């Protein structure tokens, strides 16, 4: 089987989990000897040679093609210069827009065949890029007929998937890694929601990264349940990481590591910390990351008078992330809404017991972790206290957690995906 796959980013040039998931999935597909044509807006040349890569920036679009005109007509409304960056907090947003603005090459649109230079970022011209990407999708589908099924990852690539389906008549699978409801709560970006919904409706089958996400797709997007399958993410490497990095403080450390935004529920971590510190002052809490709620969290920690026990590191990268995991005695992910959430699995690899919110997809695959409702700070505090003080339970979690991790393989995910493809193709014919 040969799959035409549309992504938005690919390692090593990634800014979020989407690229990593695509990477894992393709590795899994390779394991089963399936061929993947992988399209990204921009190739950098240093990607690992795992698929038949297509650089969208190299594709010449023939604007005179009749069928394109219909596609184009449906897309032009997107190009209202909406300055929106759905995946990023304000700080990263600034960085990315600065970058994207300087990075972009203008094209002369007066001619009828040309290439479009994608930045592949989440910048100012995101909507423009998304719609041009759709035209590229149509062009590729027209140029090459050597594929059996189309697979598009997240809303950025949905229009490309839809266009490719229209051109080729081949079935479309859309893969939902996150929805607008996870990113923005109830205050959704309407154009993004519209694209997501259009993609799910046009698709022959929808794949969700968790049951949690599947439920959102059914409830909020009105997609019939029989059309939606769950394919949990996996880990690339399940080996336990033995770090040489030594902790320098005598106290035990409880860590939150992630963007400090609404979606990640940082305030529940702060409130739970207070309850633990009141009972046992010999603990340090660390909030690692950056985001629009950072200052509010600092303010709250000062207000609760626990700033000598509750620390902020700012945004961590590279080795510091590993160091942080390595010195943590408990890892907490109190996300309000997390389609999957790969970070707790990283913690498990560092032999750190984890507490995750029931509102996260990863809770569906990680059995040996404590699961609490994100809003239940009492339960969260109890769990933290238990993992810190009762060696039995944390030792058990360490052992069983790493066993569990070994079962989360991308080749298993790919096997399930192939079944989904087969069913979808069978349905269509």
Partner 1 sequence: MRTICFYFQVHQPFRLKPYRFFDIGEDHHYWDDFLNRNVIRKAAQRCYLPMNSLLMDLIHQYPGKFKVAFSISGTFLDQMEAYAPDVLESFQKLVATGQVELLNETYTHSLAALKSKEEFTKLVKKHQDRIKELFNGYTPKVFRNTELIYSDSIGSMVSEMGYKGILTEGAKHILGWKSPNYVYTNAIDPKLKVLLKNFRLSDDIAFRFSNKTWADFPLTTDKFVTWLNAIPKEEQVVNLFMDYETFGEHQWADTGIFEFMRFLPETIFKHSNFNFSTPSEVLDNSQPVGNIHVPIPISWADEERDLTAWLGNDLQDEAFDRLYDLESQVKGIDDPEIQRDWSYLQTSDHFYYMCTKFFSDGSVHQYFSPYDTPYDAFINYMNVLSDFMLRVKEKSQQAKASA
Residues that bind partner 1 (CB under 8 A): 247-250, 286, 288, 294-295, 298-299, 302-303, 305, 307-308, 311-314, 320, 323
**29 versus 288: smaller Cβ distance to partner 1:** 288
**111 versus 249: smaller Cβ distance to partner 1:** 249
**104 versus 311: smaller Cβ distance to partner 1:** 311
Q: Three-class SS of residue 250?
A: coil
Least gap, CB of 302 to partner 1 (angstroms): 4
CA neighbor of 172 nearest in space, from 141, 143, 194: 141
CB 176 within 8 A of CB 21: no
* Own/partner pairs, 37-40, CB within 8 angstroms, 24+ separation: 37/2, 37/3, 37/4, 37/5, 37/140, 37/144, 37/146, 37/147, 38/5, 38/7, 38/10, 39/4, 39/5, 39/6, 39/7, 39/136, 39/137, 39/140, 39/160, 40/7, 40/8, 40/9, 40/10, 40/120
**271 versus 411: smaller Cβ distance to partner 1:** 271
β 330-333/252-257 pair status: parallel
Least gap, CB of 294 to partner 1 (angstroms): 7
Least gap, CB of 291 to partner 1 (angstroms): 13
Least gap, CB of 329 to partner 1 (angstroms): 15
**Residue at token pair 């609760």:** 304
Least gap, CB of 365 to partner 1 (angstroms): 31
Q: Three-class SS of residue 156?
A: helix
Alpha-carbon span 364 to 375, nearest angstrom: 18
Alpha-carbon span 167 to 142, nearest angstrom: 6
Least gap, CB of 322 to partner 1 (angstroms): 12
**239 versus 295: smaller Cβ distance to partner 1:** 295
**63 versus 315: smaller Cβ distance to partner 1:** 315
Number of separate helices (H) and strands (E) present in the chain: 15, 15
**59 versus 326: smaller Cβ distance to partner 1:** 326
Least gap, CB of 241 to partner 1 (angstroms): 18
- Which helix (H) or strand (E) is 267 found in, with range? helix 266-279
């Amino acid at each position: 089987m040969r799959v035409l796959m549309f992504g938005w980013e690919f390692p090593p040039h990634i800014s979020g989990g989407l690229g990593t998931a695509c990477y894992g999935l393709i590795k899994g597909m390779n394991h089963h000897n399936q061929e993947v044509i992988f399209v990204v807006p921009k190739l950098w040349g240093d990607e690992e040679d795992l698929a038949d890569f297509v650089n969208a920036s190299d594709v010449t679009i023939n604007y005179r093609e009749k069928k394109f005109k219909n596609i184009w007509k449906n897309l032009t409304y997107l190009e209202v210069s909406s300055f929106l960056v759905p995946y990023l907090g304000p700080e990263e947003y600034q960085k990315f827009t600065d970058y994207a603005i300087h990075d972009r090459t203008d094209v002369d649109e007066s001619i009828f065949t040309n290439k479009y230079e994608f930045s592949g970022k989440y910048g100012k011209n995101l909507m423009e890029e998304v719609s041009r990407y759709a035209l590229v999708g149509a062009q590729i589908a027209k140029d090459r007929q050597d594929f059996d099924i189309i697979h598009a990852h997240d809303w950025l690539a949905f229009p490309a998937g839809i266009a490719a389906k229209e051109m080729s008549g081949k079935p479309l699978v859309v893969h939902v890694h996150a929805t607008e409801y996870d990113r923005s709560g109830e205050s959704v970006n309407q154009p993004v929601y519209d694209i997501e919904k259009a993609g799910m409706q046009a698709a022959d089958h929808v794949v969700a990264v968790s049951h949690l996400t599947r439920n959102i797709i059914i409830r909020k997007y009105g997609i019939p349940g029989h059309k939606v399958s769950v394919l949990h993410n996996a880990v690339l490497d399940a080996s336990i990481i033995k770090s040489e990095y030594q902790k320098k403080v005598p106290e035990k450390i409880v860590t939150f590591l992630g963007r400090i935004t609404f979606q990640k529920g940082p305030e529940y971590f702060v409130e739970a910390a207070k309850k633990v510190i009141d009972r046992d002052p010999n603990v340090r809490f660390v909030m690692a990351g950056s985001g629009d709620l950072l200052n509010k969290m600092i303010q709250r920690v000062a207000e609760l008078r626990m700033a000598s026990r509750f620390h902020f590191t700012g945004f961590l990268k590279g080795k510091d992330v590993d160091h942080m995991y390595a010195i943590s005695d408990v890892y907490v992910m109190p996300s309000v809404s997390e389609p999957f959430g790969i970070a707790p699995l990283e913690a498990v690899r560092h032999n750190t017991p984890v507490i995750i919110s029931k509102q996260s997809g990863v809770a569906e695959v990680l059995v040996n972790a404590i699961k609490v409702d994100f809003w239940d700070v009492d339960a969260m505090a109890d769990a933290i206290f238990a993992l810190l003080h009762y060696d039995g339970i944390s030792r058990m979690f360490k052992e069983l957690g790493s066993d569990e991790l070994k079962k989360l393989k991308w080749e298993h995910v790919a096997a399930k995906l192939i079944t989904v493809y087969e069913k979808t193709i069978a349905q269509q014919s």
